[in-house]
Amino acid sequence: MRVKVKYFALLRELAGKREEDVEIDEETRVEELLEKLSERYGERFRDYVYGVGEFRGLTLMFLLNGRNIELMDGFKTRLRDGDTLSILPPVVGG
Amino acid sequence: MSFQELTQSELERYDRQILIPGWGLEGQKRLKNAKVAVVGVGGLGCPASLYLTAVGVGKIRIIDKEKFELSNLNRQILGYQTDLGRFKVHVAREKLKMLNPGVEVEPIVAEVTRDNVHEVVGDVDVVVDGMDNWRTRLVLNEYCVSHGIPFIHAAVSEMYGQITTIVAGNGPCLKCIFPRTPPEAEKTPVLGATPALLASLQVMEVVKLIIGIGEPLIGRMLFIDGRTMRFEEVRVEKREDCPVCGSKR
């Protein structure tokens, strides 16, 4: 099956694209998709996505079809064919 | 208060916007009779209140507890060098009145909290988010949802920004989108032009809602990436079980 991943802010630079379609197995969880993408784009991508290492303390927002994954099973949320996962940085200032 | 008609001078002042299709005299009168609260007179709130004043919103309530500091001046454009140490809302009122004396500007030195939000924000037609923290944004979100007041959320960082319009019952509220309070930031890196851009978009949303033209940014969050100069929309969904706005609370 296939899902769409939309990247924002630094992730666009790390992935070198704004969005992409990714082929994954049925029942793949968000964390497994992130793992696959981290293998593709490297350690910095992984650190950024999980808020570790250089990016310690960073909390990104993951919207699956417009709903925050925290409302589902977080990183354990299972993906379905045609899903869109948007990964956004925290923006707080005013 | 009775509905106020437009004066000859106002017809001239607002001529170029009255010409906008769907606006007209009726739209301008609606603005004149509207009341908007700008909560936070910072990078977002300064340009937002300037444009709300220029467009002719009848009453603008500006709320902020801070005084101008030197590090504000790269983005909080109502504050000049000579205003350092003065309350932002007092400085803002002076400048806004110079721009457009016909607009009533009500300055309030306060920090919005759950306890005072009724009194401080009060009964307005729209609330503009000029905050720099989530704690207060979520208080405003709850207040606006429970009183059916549209809330124009925006936030910025570096050259990034996000904006969405919250209208209870018509789309998600901030709590739907951010179920857990996002992390706060002590000091946000920011290019002044970023909040200016977002504030302009906020004012467009305010004006559209008051006049009743166009399509508001409900159920969509516009993400602005100034580094690559791309604007992109993300769908945001309402939660039926949202503790703030859900029908199945």
pLDDT tier at B69, thresholds 50, 70, 90: very high
pLDDT value, residue B2: 62
Q: Do the domain assignments include residue B129?
A: yes
CB proximity B5 to A under 8 Å: no
Flag if A63 and B182 touch (Cβ within 8 Å): no
Q: Do the domain assignments include residue B82?
A: yes
Instruction: With beta carbons less than 8 A apart as the criterion, state whether B143 and B115 touch.
Output: no
* Residue boundaries of the structural domains of chain A: 2-88
Q: Do the domain assignments include residue B16?
A: no
pLDDT tier at B249, thresholds 50, 70, 90: confident
Bridge partners for B105 per DSSP: B60
B1 has a pLDDT exceeding 90: no
Which run of H or E residues covers position A85? strand A84-88
B11 has a pLDDT exceeding 90: yes
Nearest to A8 by CA among A68, A61, A84: A61
pLDDT value, residue B123: 96
Q: Do the domain assignments include residue B65?
A: yes
The domain in which residue B117 lies consists of 34-235
Given the structure tokens 């497994």, which residue do they identify? A32
| Percent of chain B clearing pLDDT 70 (strictly above) | 99
Q: Do the domain assignments include residue B28?
A: no
- Residues of chain A with Cβ-Cβ distance to B179 below 8 Å are 68, 70-71
What is the number of structural domains in chain B?
1
B49 has a pLDDT exceeding 80: yes
pLDDT value, residue B23: 98
What are the tens digits of pLDDT across the range A3-56? 999 999 999 999 999 999 999 999 999 999 999 999 999 999 999 999 999 998
Q: Do the domain assignments include residue B241?
A: no
Which of B102-131 are b and which e, b meaning 16 or more Cβ less than 10 Å from the residue's Cβ?
A: ebebebbebebeeeebeebbbebbbbbbbb
Flag if B188 and A57 touch (Cβ within 8 Å): no
Which run of H or E residues covers position B127? strand B126-129
The superfamily CATH assigns to domain A2-88 is Beta-grasp domain (3.10.20.30)
